[in-house]
């Protein structure tokens, strides 16, 4: 479904990504994990066609990526709307059908049925007619996922959808995405700095650090020697009570875009 081949990105004379290679198969759940500043969002924007790589290519569904490709659905980090903005949950879903067209959408039975079906799939029927500015973060994320799904994409990209959510909402969003992957056969690539909520559902992990990336199962990638090579200095992997923490060594220099001594650099926020 998705192939990233030898991708490198240089922005403002600074190398952001270097020789990124991975593939996401159809019907799989992949976690894109790494600390803040590692290049995860830049990589996502390359996959979306918003940034042209300096070298390499991205292929989605057998075709070289371009901006606005219909087979890709996108869930942004967060939307900020005033509580009084008269945009309801069902309106947000509907924008995924015809939001790119000029003028007001024309109500019809087919469009409403399509919106209602997505509302049911993401479990948002009970707040479908509530202004989205009055909804909780978890409720808004359900609607944003529905907005992306209503166009029936083959690949779903989610940019930090778990940020700023309470624990209950985090697990609800993860279960929802896993359910969409299992029931609809779509592929999901979820960006997060915390891998722990995804441990029970993701098929593989792409770990990004220092502008480079490794892909494999959690047991293959989240190992001290593997991550130390990726970061370029010693790191430790701690497993406790079903959680994984990746911690940098105690005597390494601290760079602006690389976690410093003693920082948690994966598995939980710094």
- Helix (H) or strand (E) holding 155, with range, is strand 155-159
Q: How far apart are CA 152 and CA 97, in angstroms?
A: 10
C-beta pairs of 78-81 under 8 Å, 24+ apart in sequence = 78/137, 78/140, 78/163, 78/164, 79/132, 79/140, 79/144, 81/132, 81/133
Compute the chain's Rg from CA coordinates: 19
Tell me what pLDDT residue 105 has.
56
151 to 147, 157, 219: CA distances (angstroms): 8, 13, 35
What phi, psi does 161 have (nearest 5°)? -70, -10
pLDDT, position 253: 36
Residues for the chain: how many in total?
Answer: 270
Q: Report the C-alpha gap between 50 and 59 in whole angstroms.
A: 14
Q: Are the C-beta atoms of 105 and 111 separated by less than 8 Å?
A: yes
Per-residue pLDDT tens digits for 153-189: 899 999 999 988 889 999 999 999 999 899 888 999 9
Domain borders along the chain are 82-147
The whole-angstrom separation of Cα 169 and Cα 135 is 12
* C-alpha–C-alpha distance, residues 60 and 122, integer Å: 25
pLDDT at residue 241 in the model: 85
Which burial class, exposed, middle or buried, applies to 206 when counting CB atoms under 10 A from its CB (0-12, 13-18, 19+)?
Answer: buried
Model confidence pLDDT, tens digit, residues 205-242: 999 998 899 999 999 999 999 999 988 889 899 998 88
Q: Cα dihedral angle (61, 65, 71, 72), rounded to 10 degrees? A: 120
Check residue 256 and give its pLDDT.
30
Question: Which stretches of the chain drop beneath a pLDDT of 50?
Answer: 99-103, 250-270
Q: Cβ(187)–Cβ(156) under 8 Å?
A: yes
């Amino acid at each position: 479904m998705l192939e990233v081949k030898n991708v490198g990105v240089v922005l403002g004379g600074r190398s952001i990504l270097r020789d990124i290679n991975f593939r996401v198969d159809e019907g799989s759940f992949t976690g894109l994990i790494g600390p803040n500043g590692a290049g995860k969002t830049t990589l996502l924007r390359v996959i979306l066609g918003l940034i042209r790589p300096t070298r390499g290519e991205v292929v989605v569904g057998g075709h070289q990526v371009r901006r606005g490709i219909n087979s890709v659905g996108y869930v942004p980090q967060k939307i900020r709307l005033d509580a009084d903005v008269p945009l309801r949950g069902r309106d947000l879903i509907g924008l995924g059908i015809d939001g790119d067209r000029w003028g007001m959408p024309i109500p019809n039975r087919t469009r409403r049925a399509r919106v209602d079906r997505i509302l049911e799939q993401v479990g948002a029927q009970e707040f479908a007619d509530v202004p989205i500015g009055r909804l909780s973060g978890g409720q808004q994320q359900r609607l944003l996922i529905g907005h992306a799904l209503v166009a029936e994409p083959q690949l779903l990209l989610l940019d930090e959808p778990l940020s700023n959510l309470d624990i209950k909402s985090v697990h609800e969003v993860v279960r929802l995405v896993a359910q969409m992957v299992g029931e609809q056969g779509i592929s999901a690539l979820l960006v997060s700095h915390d891998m722990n909520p995804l441990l029970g559902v993701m098929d593989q992990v792409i770990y990004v650090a220092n502008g480079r990336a490794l892909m494999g199962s959690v047991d293959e990638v989240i190992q001290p020697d593997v991550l130390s090579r990726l970061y370029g200095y010693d790191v430790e992997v701690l497993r406790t009570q079903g959680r994984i923490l990746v911690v940098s060594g105690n005597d390494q220099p601290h760079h602006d875009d690389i976690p410093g001594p003693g920082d948690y650099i994966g598995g939980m926020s710094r």
